[in-house]
Amino acid sequence: MSTSAQLRSALVSALAEDGALTDPDWLRAAETVPRELFTGSYFEQVPGSVPTRYRPVRQGGEGWLQGIYTDRTLITQLDGRIRPDDVTGSTVEGSPSSSSTLPSLVLRMWQQLEVEQGQRVLEIGTGTGYSTTLGAHRLGDGNLTSVEYDPVVGEAAASAITSAGYTPRLIVGDGLRGDPEGGAYGRLIATCAVRYIPLPWLHQVKPGGKILVTLSGWSYASGLALLTVTGPGTATGRFLPGHTSFMIARPHDRPPRPVLALLPGEERTSLIDPAIIDTWSGSWVAQLAAPSAERMGAGSQQILWDVSTGSQARTAAGPDGGWTVVQRGPVRLWDRVEEAVERWRAAGEPHQKGFGITVSAAGQRVWIGAEDGPGWELPV
Ligand SMILES: C[S@@+](CC[C@H](N)C(=O)[O-])C[C@H]1O[C@@H](n2cnc3c(N)ncnc32)[C@H](O)[C@@H]1O
């Protein structure tokens, strides 16, 4: 039976061999900090369950430690309240609301943040406290402040971080408001996603400082962006390679909606194959075009439901080999998606890494290629 130290060392070696993690200081941090101190029991997805169900993996039980030292995200809370140890049955349904992010992503993001020695860092989304502790180990307790929205999660993280022997500054509150005491940070890293860059961040990170955050939305598409703050309230940056996604920050989550009812509307031929918005970057473009819409469905059968106006669009394979779309409501969602997909195609269908973002008093714009390229305003 392997010990925690052996499993940890094997995981770190595998991450280093992979080539994506090159900074020896961050690898050393991962070799030092035992992840099991932060997760306790966690949830495992029940394969093939629809809607998704989760099985608790109990602390100290069979496979528990091995699971912790695989490179995967461990879900530690569902629906903002259910912890694995609360579950009395064998499985439970719910939506993940807190987790320990997979180690390769945590370490990659710490590397991508390009922190310089002595810089103060604000982390948003303490979660289990694992990424916070890696940061505290590498940067020094005094340089790291971390904010967690959920008081129960924040309390558990605080006790885990203390038991690991670290003392970063921990805050329970809404990290989208930044540090309640204000601050002049050199870096900000978010391990929850946002629909737009919160303005307080742009005043608490010093000009020249950097913000690393995943932009996401109500259609679940994501892109990881590294922005440089150019002045108070302004920033610009680019999206990074890879396929990064995070749970959305609680205040940016979509409002509750009624049970889906597909209603009649105007039907026409779709100008694009709807399956394009099922791809990683196609879904991103569709979300930029219709930022208040939730996306459901798959392949040629896409459903968009605009949360703010109730507008709907639904597509289907046509009888003659093409596709049809039915739209209703004040926002013609599919018209917007088609137009956006055509602009994206004209630009060569880039992955998110071909996109950038500019934030100013005038708004927040995501663009392709260069600042004056085709772009879309974020819903600030
Ligand atoms: C993916 S988990 C964080 C993973 C964590 N960094 C780790 O290594 O364990 C995302 C966390 O962000 C928290 N969160 C969501 N909205 C937030 C907000 N507005 N401010 C601060 N934390 C938030 C969630 O409660 C959740 O614990």
Last residue of a domain, one of 199, 225, 251: 251
Q: Say yes or no: 79 and 137 in one domain.
A: no
Pick from 251, 280, 309: which residue ends a domain?
251
**One domain for residues 33 and 93:** yes
* Per-residue model confidence as pLDDT tens for the chain (380 residues): 579 999 999 999 999 998 878 899 999 999 999 999 999 999 999 999 988 999 999 999 999 999 999 999 999 999 999 999 999 989 999 999 999 999 999 999 999 999 988 999 999 999 999 999 999 999 999 999 999 999 999 999 999 999 999 999 999 999 999 999 998 999 999 999 999 999 999 999 999 999 999 999 999 999 999 999 999 999 999 999 999 999 999 999 998 888 888 889 999 999 999 999 999 999 999 999 999 999 999 999 999 999 889 999 999 999 888 999 999 999 999 999 999 999 999 999 999 999 999 999 889 999 999 999 999 999 99
359 domain residue, yes or no: no
Full strand arrangement of the beta sheet holding 355-360: 169-172, 144-148, 121-124, 185-190, 205-215, 223-231, 234-239, 355-360, 363-368, 375-377
The reply to whether ligand 1 has any atom less than 6 angstroms from the CB of 192 is yes
220 and 271 together in one domain: no
- Closest ligand 1 atom to Cα of 146: 21
**Residues spanned by the domain of 63:** 4-100
145 domain-assigned: yes
Look at ligand 1, atom 4, and give the residue with the nearest C-alpha. 127
Indicate whether 40 and 167 sit together in one domain. no
The CATH code of the domain that includes 317 is 3.30.160
Residues 138 and 24 in one domain: no
Report CA(212)–ligand 1 centroid distance (Å).
Answer: 14
pLDDT tens column, 233-244: 999 999 999 999
Whether residue 215 contacts residue 222, with contact meaning beta carbons closer than 8 Å, is answered with: yes
In a domain, 352, yes or no: no
Q: Is 361 inside any structural domain?
A: no
113 within ligand 1 shell (Cβ under 6 A):
no
Specify whether 90 is located in the same domain as 163. no
176 lines ligand 1 (CB under 6 A): yes
Mutate to test the pocket of ligand 1, among 35, 110, 126, 144 (most ligand atoms within 8 A of CB): 126
Token pair 């912890």 is at which residue? 83
SS3 134: helix
Total count of domains within the chain: 3
Residue 369 domain flag = no
Tell which one of 42, 247, 253 to mutate to probe ligand 1, the residue whose CB is within 8 A of the most ligand atoms: 247
Residue where a domain terminates, one of 220, 251, 282:
251
Verify that 175 and 298 share a domain, yes or no: no
Please provide the DSSP assignment of 171-206 as one string. Answer: EES-GGG--TT---EEEEEESSBBSS--HHHHHHEE
- Residue 354 located in a structural domain: no
- 183 and 44 within one domain: no
Shared domain for 78 and 156, answered yes or no, is: no
Q: Do residues 132 and 90 share a domain?
A: no
72 inside domain: yes
Residue nearest (by alpha carbon) to ligand 1 atom 27: 127
Q: Which atom of ligand 1 is nearest to the CA of 246?
A: 1
- Decide: 128 in ligand 1 pocket, CB within 6 A: yes
Q: Are residues 163 and 236 in the same domain?
A: yes
Asked if residue 365 is part of any domain, the answer here is no
- Which CATH number belongs to the domain containing residue 189 in this structure? 3.40.50.150
User: 227 and 142, same structural domain?
Assistant: yes
